[in-house]
Structure 1
Amino acid sequence: MIHEVDSILHALLTEEVLAGVDVQLAFDAPTREWEAKRNAPTVNLFLYDIREELAHRREGRIEEYDADGVVVAERSPPRYFALSYLVTAWTARPEDEHRLLSLLLTGLLGHDVLPGQRLVGSLADLGLTVPITIAVPPKRDRGLADIWSALGGSLKPSLDLVVTTPIASATAFAARPVTDGLLLRTVDRSGGDPTEARRLRYPDPADGADATPVGVRRVRGTAADRQGRPGTGGPIRDGNR
């Protein structure tokens, strides 16, 4: 999930926010050693903190349905995690760094969430929004001065970018409901062929309606209503799945 957010941010910044600007994008820790190796104007997004957003946690189960309205799986609600990036600009002149920070701030303020069309991988599969904030003061236990001290560098103008991303919980698949009637087998003691009888769990079909073959699931409830036939209607064909 983290690498997917990195990929989305890279595309968003290079193709939209900083489009047409000759600058590199990096996700390295901005240490003194990294700074010494830098040889071009660079915008750095350093992921310095990962923590769960407990305010977004939900209990219960989310049910998934097939095309016939039958529960096929259930899963826990997604969990949300805040990914905090320290965004800095690195050039030969402070004025150019400030210009880059201004472009970043202005461009990211236009996005309350990551653009849906840019979501990839598991984030795209979930179909949920991914909120972002820019330049919001960090929590008290995450002072930026402490971060620079840990990196061994001097304090530098920066933006705090936080991406609150969902992670899908494990899915528990539900068993298919039993919809066949009771199947009885009888044997003719006089030596005739075995006969087969079925006692339906539902009323017999109306006169003229096709009986449901043994082993084929019968349409019930809202699925039957959608297909315009009673709950004891004919078998579900492959084309209707």
Structure 2
Amino acid sequence: MIHEVDESLRTLLRDDALEGAQIVVAFDAPTRDWAAKVNAPTVNLYLYDIREDTRRRERGLHNAYDEAGVVVARRRPPRYFKLSYLITAWTKRPEDEHRLLSSLLACLLRYEALPADRLTGSLAEIGVAVPMTIALPPPEDRSFADVWSALGGELKPSLDLVVSVPVTASPVYEAGPPVGEEGVRLGFSGIPPERPSEAEGTYRKTPDGRRLPVYGTRPGAPAAGIASRVAEGRGREERPE
């Protein structure tokens, strides 16, 4: 995923910003040792931070459909991760570096996301936009001076590029068969399908003549419901000791 973003950025900058000029596009850490070995005009995109873009996190599941439009599986929505690049230009003259940075800034400002025709691999297959921002203020928990201090190099003019890349690696849950036009058929187990007998003690008669089951009894079972148990209890109480 990260290497696919690297390749998309390399192609975008070479074609749109550098316009085929003989300028190297590198992704190395701009340390003192690396800078001492640079012997050609170079644009460096150093990936210095990777973290999740929690503002784009979604809940729930996404449906996957077959050719007939039936849901066959469900999966979690993609999670976006911010890839932060420190873009610098390296030439023999500061004026040339500034010109390169101007060209890069003008190019990246034209896009709010990586162009679809520049995406490769899995980024092109999922068909989801890959947003990016350029030269926004850094978060409060870090500064570009801290990055240069960690690299052990001298502070240089730079552009901060942040690419929010979707990651779709998640479990896939198979969906059950669709419900047909006949709907869902429900039933109760343990009760005979035939009409229950109106055994004495299991039914009570309502004023309108209907017979309703007595609470706590099962229609069709012997008269061993609440009424029979109450009657049995009364019989025990009336027996002389």
TM-score, structure 2 as length reference: 0.72
Instruction: Give the match for residue 137 of structure 1.
Output: 137
Work out whether 1:28 is the aligned partner of 2:24: no
Which residue of structure 2 aligns with residue 57 of structure 1? Answer: 57
Distance in structure 1 (CA, Å) of the matches to 2:134 and 2:179: 54
Please tell me the residue identity of whatever aligns with 1:81: F
| C-alpha distance in 2 between matches for 1:92 and 1:101 | 14
Match of 1:67 in 2: 67
Measured in 2, the distance between the counterparts of 1:63 and 1:175 equals 9
Structure 1 residue 5 corresponds to structure 2 residue 8: no
Distance 1:156 1:80, change over 3 A: same
Contact 1:77 1:169 in 2 (8 A): no
CA distance in 2, matches of 1:132, 1:178: 40
Assess if the C-alpha contact under 8 Å between 2:85 and 2:160 holds in 1: yes
Q: Which residue is equivalent to 2:83?
A: 83
Distance change >3 Å, CA 109–CA 103, structure 1 → 2: same
Question: Unpaired segments of 5 or more residues in structure 1?
Answer: 181-200, 203-241
Cross-structure match for 1:216: none
Tell me, in whole angstroms, the C-alpha distance in 2 between the residues paired with 1:81 and 1:168.
Answer: 11
**More deviation, 123-132/167-176:** 167-176
Which structure 1 residue ranges, 4+ long, deviate > 4 Å from structure 2? none
Q: Are the structure 2 counterparts of residues 96 and 178 from structure 1 closer, same or farther at C-alpha, using a change threshold of 3 Å?
A: closer
The 2-side partners of 1:155 and 1:90 are apart by: 13
Matches of residues 202-213 of structure 1 in structure 2 within 5 Å? none
Query: Is this contact kept in 1: 2:74–2:175, CA < 8 A?
Result: no
Contact 1:40 1:91 (8 Å CA) reproduced: yes
RMSD (Å) for aligned C-alpha atoms: 1.8
Q: SS state of the match for residue 20, structure 1?
A: coil
Find the aligned partners of 2:132 and 2:119 in 1 and give their Cα distance. Answer: 13
1:152-171, aligned counterparts within 5 Å? 152-171=152-171
Find the counterpart in structure 1 of residue 38 from structure 2: 38
Partner of 1:222: none
Q: Offset at 1:169? A: 3.6
Q: How far did residue 70 of structure 1 move?
A: 1.6
Instruction: Kindly provide the amino acid, as one letter, of the partner of residue 77 in structure 2.
Output: P
What SS does the corresponding residue of 1:160 show, helix, strand or coil? Answer: strand
Distance verdict in 2 for CA 1:145–1:179, change over 3 Å: closer
Paired with 2:2 and 2:112, the residues of 1 have a C-alpha distance of 19
**Structure 1 Cα separation of the partners of residues 133 and 179 of structure 2:** 50
Q: How far does residue 175 in structure 1 lie from its aligned partner after superposition?
A: 4.9
Return the offset for 1:21. 2.2
Letter in 1 for 2:109: L
What residue number does 2:213 align with? Answer: none
Per-residue CA deviation, residues 77-107 of structure 1 (Å, 9 max, x unaligned), is 1000000000000000000000000000011
8 A Cα contact 2:70 2:178, kept in partner:
no
Moved more, 156-165 or 20-29: 20-29
* SS state at 1:149 partner: helix
For residues 171 and 97 of structure 1, the distance between their equivalents in structure 2, rounded to whole angstroms, comes to 47
Paired with 2:164 and 2:60, the residues of 1 have a C-alpha distance of 21
Q: Which amino acid aligns with 1:40?
A: A
Secondary structure of 1:22's partner?
coil
The higher radius of gyration belongs to 2
Cα shift at 1:174: 1.2
**Map of 1:8-19 to 2, 5 A cutoff?**
8-19=8-19
Indicate the percent of aligned positions where both proteins have the same amino acid: 60
C-alpha distance 97-178 of structure 1, shift in aligned 2 (>3 A) = closer
Report how far residue 27 of structure 1 moved: 0.1
